[in-house]
Amino acid sequence: MNIFRPTFTKVVLALVLLVLSAWLWRLLVIRTISDTFVWGFPLQFYLAWGPCPSGETCFEMRPLSLVADVLIWYAVAALLLRLARPKR
């Protein structure tokens, strides 16, 4: 049996872990650095800062980091579900 074979449970758990970790990391960063807004953990895939003067871009998005984050959390979800499954 392949541990990384996609299942509905693995995908949902991976998305929950992705959103939860990104949200908690964002809360910690906002609490310590008030004018920086991030999304993504362990890899930061979105960063915004302010105040932003008009005419300037004050954010950046890293799609490759987002893809890597999704893959990392999918692997974590697969491992957690494998460990949680009772032995035969």
The interaxial angle of helices 63-84 and 8-32, nearest 10 deg, is 120
Choice between 26 and 87, residue whose per-residue pLDDT is larger: 26
- What is the value of pTM for the model shown? 0.82
Reported as a single tens digit per residue, the pLDDT across 27-67 is 998 888 878 888 999 999 999 888 888 888 889 999 999 99
- On whether the CB atoms of residues 78 and 3 are closer than 8 A, the answer is yes
> Taking the domains of the chain in order of start, what are their residue ranges?
8-81
Looking at every residue in the chain, the average pLDDT score rounds to 90
